[in-house]
Every structure is written in C-alpha cells, then in structure tokens.
Amino acid sequence: MAERHVPSSAPGPGTADAQARYVRPCVTELRLSAFAGHRRARFPLGAVTLFVGASGSGKSSALRAYEALARLGGGASLGEVFADPLACVPQGARPDAQRRRGFRIGCTADGPGGPVRLDVAVQAEPELRIVGERLSAAGVVLLETALRDPGRRTVQAAWHTGGSAPVTRAPLPDDRLGTALLPLRVAGKTDGQRQVLAAAEQMVVALRSVFACDPQPDWMGAPVPTGSGRLLGGCDNLADVLWRTREECARRHAQLVAALSAGSGGPVVDLRAEPLPDGTVRALLHRADGSRTELARLGYGELRYIALALVLLTGPGVLDVDPAGEVPAAMQTLTLLADGLDRGLDARQRAELLRLAVRMAERGHIRCVGAVGDGHGAARTEGVTVVHLGP
C-alpha cells in the first residue's frame, strides 16, 4: 500500500474548494489491483503528484498503467497499448485451469458529475483480451462487461437504462474499452441512459488529455525541418515548436524565458529558433551577456529542464495529444505524465520545475504526475501530493 503525503493546504474531497477544482474532469485515483509488482494498490492523484521510491519499487509501472488507461480511453486497441502484456502480469501469478493469466487496473475520474470509477480486467494469455469492465458512479453500476464465450471475440455488455428495462444488453469487442464506445451505442433517451453517457464522457475526457513526455537530450539540439509545430513525447522537434510558439503567444514565451533563467547557470533573455539555409531550424539560447548558445551545446539536465518547462507552459494545441475534440478546451485538463521527472536535473532545476508545475496547476488547465528518485524537496513543496513506494 502507498503512503500519502498531503500538503496542509490541499482541500479534502468533500470541501467546496475540492468541488471547484473538479469542474474539469481529471483522474484523482489510480488503482492497480494486480499489475506488475503492484497488488491491491490505490494511489491518490493530486494536481501535482510525485511517485517516490527506490529503483524497482514500482514507480515506472504505476505511470505505465496510467498511460495505458489513457490510451484505451482514447480508443486504442489492447494490442496497441500492451506490446508485452505478460510483463504486466503480477510476478508469481499462476494460470488457472484454462491457462489464463492477466492483470487488473482502474481509476477514478472526478468532475461535474462527481466521482466515476472504472475498473478493467485484462487477460494476457493465452489471448490478449478484456474479460471484464465496470463503470460506476454514486453506487450505481452503469456499465458491466463479462466474457461469456471464450470462442467469440466479444464480451457481453450490460449498461444502465432506467426505463421499462433496467439494463440494455449487447456484445462489444473484447479488444477495446467499452466505456469509450458507449457514446456510439447508447441513445440517451432515458434518464438512466443520460447518466451512463455523462459518466462515460467524464471518464474519457479525463483520460484522453494525457501527454507522456520523456525528453531525449541527445536529439533535442539538432536542427529539424519545420512541420506541424506539435511537440513530440521525446521533445526532439523542440526547435520546430519554438519556431511556432514564440510568435503565437508572447506572454507564455516570456514566462518560459523567465523559468529558464531561474533554472539556468546564468541569466537568459530569450530562447529562439532560427532558420538555416537547408530549410531546417535550430534553437538558440540567448544570454544576458549577448552570447548565443546552440541547444546542442547545453548539458543533459539543462535540455531536459527546458523541454519540461515548455510542456508545463503550453497546452494541447501545441503538444502531440489527442484531446476530446467535442469538448471545449476550457473544460479539459491536460495531464503531463513524466517518468524520471528529475532525471539529470540539479537541485535548483528540480525546485524551479516543481514550483512551475504547482503554479500552472493552480490555474486548472494542467496537472502533473511524475516519478522521481529523490522526493525530499517535493515533500516540502506546498501543493504537491507525494506517494511513497517501497519498504
């Protein structure tokens, strides 16, 4: 089980302040009933949450489960999400009489409709498939699926109707999250059906706006061709993004420069992308003494700091994510998912990045879930939820 550090200023789940925080749907709890090294684990997720623990304590697997749920919520198939499903099966789990083994993950998404729970059971062998799913809210099971016939590539689904018939039954594919398919299957004619649709939408919106980011400094400094201007998860197209964003939002760019100056070895006055004769663009750091430094000449930690600060100061329109297009951007919250959030950063950069994450999260448009090796500074930072893993 996880120990939770909650800052003294954090609102409790029943307070008016907490309800105000959840106007935009967001994931507030991650459950790993049986996943990799986790059993019966429940992890609270605040606006800024850090998983802390020694190597092998399960930090990365917790974030991997969160990302998997996010991708399933976006409509991806099991095969796309779990390239190595057996690695997700708890160690020591024995197959049943039919040689079946699997794992169970879930989450809670809070929002305008209150807390909504999603729990998913996945069979990893002999075939990868969803064998059970439950969506519930306020003590009512809104969707439940079960594998009735192993010979068919479907599960039997039953969702709440609330009309003359209490539930509607129909088959759903066994390689997709049923919750994400409900808007295509539920008519919304009864109060019960509308309750199902509202809960499914809240869960899907909370899951879809996730940006898994792991900056790769070895590639970030190289000139790149201009393209979509949408930042990739490895941040290797950073120069292309800066080429676009510096002119689009001067205020955000000024905030980025201020953050870089606070976490850099000397004052920074600008970060620009300039075109090269071959049609590519490169990024340059402009310092207060008038010197310009190519990003390729910066250190590993400084490059990661630049990339993560850029992510925290931008949004879905710039990041390579697929948010729910039918929901206004003002009603969505982007979640930065960063394994090794503090990798390569010095103490000053870690502190500045954490303060930036808290400041941006207070505005309600971005949340941050990361894994760090050292959580001492995080535990002393107001506005941060620290989840301790390990002995």
Q: Which pair of structure tokens corresponds to residue 267?
A: 């004052």
Q: Are 88 and 82 in contact (CB under 8 A)?
A: yes
Look at residue 13 in the predicted model and tell me its pLDDT. 41
Going by pLDDT thresholds of 50, 70 and 90, the confidence category of residue 322 is low
What would the two tokens of residue 287 be?
A: 């310092």
146 pLDDT tier (thresholds 50, 70, 90)? very high
Query: Which helix H or strand E contains 180, and what residues bound it?
Result: helix 178-185
Q: CA angle, corner 243, sides to 238 and 247, nearest 5?
A: 130
One-letter amino acid at 241 equals V
Residue 280 has pLDDT above 90, yes or no: yes
Least confident of 11-15, 37-41, 137-141, 353-357: 11-15
Mean pLDDT of the region 94-107: 92
Report the pLDDT averaged over residues 63-91: 96
Across 306-323, average pLDDT: 77
Q: Are 175 and 78 in contact (CB under 8 A)?
A: yes
Whether a cis peptide bond, with omega within 30° of 0, leads into 126 is yes
Q: In the 8-state DSSP scheme, what is residue 319? A: B
**Average of pLDDT values for 329-352?**
87
Predicted pLDDT of residue 151: 87
Distances in whole angstroms, Cα of residue 19 to Cα of each of 7, 25, 311: 17, 11, 26
- pLDDT, position 19: 44
Residue-wise pLDDT tens digits, 163-185: 778 889 999 999 999 999 998 88
Task: Determine phi and psi for 275, rounding to 5 degrees.
Answer: -75, 150
pLDDT in tens, 212-242: 999 999 989 899 998 878 889 999 999 999 9
pLDDT mean over 356-360 = 93
Q: Please give the mean pLDDT across all residues of the chain.
A: 87
CA trace torsion 218, 220, 225, 231 (10° rounding): 130
Provide the pLDDT for residue 316.
65
Residue 97 has pLDDT above 70, yes or no: yes
